Each structure stands twice: as structure tokens, then as C-alpha cells.
Amino acid sequence: MAEKKKKTVKTIKIDLDKCNGCKACEMICSAFHAAPKYSSNNPARSRIRMIREPIRDIYVPVYAGENAKAECVGRDKYVIGEKEYDECVFCRASCPSRDLFKEPDSGLPLKCDMCEGEEEPLCVKWCITDALTYEERKEEVEEETKMDDVGTGLKSLIDKYGLEKIADTIARMSKKG
């Protein structure tokens, strides 16, 4: 049986009414994750994307979550107040049905890491309208092995090309090495 442990759960609360669509969150996230850090910014590499439909007055910041191998069969529509949000708009997954949350050059999935190493997520810090609020709480959870960015990327390559091909490529690269 899995052991129960107290864990700090980090969350970012999103207030849709306060988001003005400025995209500062996308800019700082992509700059923080650039290599080297802050050497460039490209919203396509951001782990938060602001879904924007100015004509319908819709601004929805969405965080990159887990990678999904297949797209969903069923889709939902959301009606909140007077606004109708299209299917998928709140979904955090990087999935085959859209380009969102994929690294533009490699196509590898992107995932929010809560700005690991920083005291507070940078998108929260840079959001001047306070649409984003950082919260921490303690929760009892079953202990799990969490995959880091390298693990997530490798798993996605294995899903795409198969273990054998990836193992061959790594073996060839290490010989050249």
C-alpha cells in the first residue's frame, strides 16, 4: 500500500474577471525558461498561454499541465455568466489536437514547473492586475514518483518513435560523444 505523506500543494488561482489580456505572464515565463535564462522571450515557449478573443471580451490564462497522447472523444462547452467558452479552452493538456504547450522547434510537451527555484511564480509576480494569485496548502497524498522535464520529454519521444529507436539513437550519440 502506498504511504501517505504531507505534501505542499502549490496552486495559482485565476480570476478571469481581472485578466486584461496583456500577456506579461507569457513573456516572463518564456524568458525564465530560455537557455540561457532571460536570453530571449517567445510566447510559444511559455508554460502559460492567454487564450484571447477580444471581440467576445474573453481572456483566459491557462497553465500547461500533463501531456496527453490522444485527443478527447467528448468535448465540453462552458457558459459562465454571459460568456460562452469554446471546447478545450480551459484544458491544460498538450495534446495532438492543437499546437498549444509544445516546444515550437522540437514539438516536445511543455509543462508548468511553478518556476522551480523561485520564491514565487514569476507569472504571478508580473501580473499587475492580480488576476493570478499564488497559494500553498498542505495535503495528505500518496507518495508518488514525479517525472521531471527530462523524463516527460523522453517519455513523449518513446511514445512517438518507440523505445528501440530512441535507445539506438542514444547509443549512436554516446559513441560519437
Any idea what DSSP says for residue 36? S
C-alpha cell at 63: 497553465
CB of 38 to ligand SF4, least distance (A): 12
Q: Applying CB under 6 A, does 60 fall inside the site for ligand SF4?
A: no
Beta bridge partners of 10: 136
* Nearby residues of 123 by Cβ (< 8 Å), 6 or more positions away: 12, 24, 25, 28, 29, 48, 61, 115, 132
Q: Applying CB under 6 A, does 112 fall inside the site for ligand SF4?
A: yes
Place of cell 513573456: 27
Binding ligand SF4 by CB under 6 A: which of 7, 24, 41, 51? 24
CB of 129 to ligand SF4, least distance (A): 4
C-alpha cell at 172: 549512436
CB of 76 to ligand SF4, least distance (A): 22
Any idea what DSSP says for residue 81? T
Nearer to ligand SF4, 65 or 97 (CB): 65
Q: Which residues bind ligand SF4 (CB under 6 A)?
A: 19-25, 28-29, 32, 47-48, 50, 59, 61, 63, 112-115, 121-123, 126-127, 129, 131-132
